[in-house]
Amino acid sequence: MRKTYLDNIRWITVVIVVIYHVIYIFNGVTTYGLLGPLSSFQPQDAYQYIVYPWFMVLLFVVSGMSARFELEKRSGKTTLSELDKGTEKAFLKSRTRKLLVPSTIGILLFGWIMGYYNMIISDAFASMSDVPKVILFLIMDVSGTGVLWYIQMLWIFSVLLLLVRKIEKDKLYNLCAKANVPILLALTIVIYGAAQILNTPAIVVYRFGIYGAAFFIGYFVMSHDEVMDRMQKSWLLLTILAVACGVAFLIMFWGQSYPDHSVLDTLMCNVYTWLGTLGILAFMKKWGGFTNSFSTWMGRKSWGLYIFHYLFIASSAWYLLLYVPNMPPLAIYLIVTFCAFAGSFILDTIVRKIPFVRWCVLGIK
């Protein structure tokens, strides 16, 4: 049976990411690739502190769960102690097409557009007037990676999963079925430890330690129906803990640059990260199994929304501040948000109709 609550977590989290990026590009807290604050006092920046610690960890947990379900579906078994080579090959082929192709070939084809706006916003062209055009184009391409770092890492974890499976052969997986709520809470220690390692020095988003831990916890622990049923029974407790930690995190770190390791690596941040993830999973397992025409449509559109949204945020924000600098901040936020959603949905519809391009950019056959 399809787990509808996971489908809803995916598209709702993508919507949260889009709204986050709309606020982020005008935030007054960090200095990375943004246009600067629209006013001296920006209470809306609190939204970033509330969602940033957990939303990508949540997506990696759900991705780990989905990897397990995909392997079961492809093999036709719920016990995967041994996988035939055909199943592994089909899984890797599917993951490569859906994840690696858009984040490599897709960037070469499409990334330069996003890279152009990233470099305009960061004023990078001013220092590159003597750079050969070919080199400049390649730099723009790399600068256009944007949100695709997530699927790059997800492909790497998927490959590692097949290697890990050759060793553990479902022994660890079966052991993790016994996990109860206290054990899930204790995994905070794992998340905190993982946050300290395998972080790239220059680009903060490539946090291989914590995101890898989240992916494999999703695969080995959260993909068990028994584990999720136990979480569902404690949904109220886990939700209260998540909200309480969120309030405490916001108070403790308000005004500090939340995407930096000086905040991300702290115990408080990682406690909130994991309890926030558990709270959302438990809440959605209890209440998120709904389905209607809107949720089904958003489920289909969420992939294109994730891939394309930042292009329309960056471009619309740039042109608004360039040509209508005195527009009220609320109007700017609303217009940029509208452009992010509408532009992504329209471009997704167009790209899906172009065979080669949809393979490159969206990983669709």
| HEC string for the chain | CCCHHHHHHHHHHHHHHHHHHHHHCCCCCCCCCCCCCCCCCCHHHHHHHHHHHHHHHHHHHHHHHHHHHHHHHHHCCCCCCCCCHHHHHHHHHHHHHHHHHHHHHHHHHHHHHHHHHHHHHCCCHHHCCCCCHHHHHHHHHHHCCHHHHHHHHHHHHHHHHHHHHHHHCCHHHHHHCCCCHHHHHHCHHHHHHHCCCCECCCCCCCEHHHHHHHHHHHHHHHCCHHHHHHHHHCHHHHHHHHHHHHHHHHHHHCCCCCCCHHHHCCHHHHHHHHHHHHHHHHHHHHHCCCCCHHHHHHHHHHHHHHHHHHHHHHHHHHHHHHHCCCCCHHHHHHHHHHHHHHHHHHHHHHHCCCHHHHHHHHCCC
| Average pLDDT of the residues in 323-344 | 96
**pLDDT tens figures, 255-298:** 999 999 999 999 999 999 999 999 999 999 999 999 999 999 99
| Average pLDDT of the residues in 295-323 | 96
| Average pLDDT of the residues in 144-150 | 93
State what percent of residues in the chain have pLDDT above 90. Answer: 79
Q: 31 pLDDT exceeds 80?
A: no
Instruction: Give the predicted TM-score (pTM) of the model.
Output: 0.96
Q: 14 pLDDT exceeds 90?
A: yes
Which region among 39-53, 83-97, 217-231 has the lowest average model confidence (pLDDT)? Answer: 83-97
| Average pLDDT of the residues in 144-162 | 96
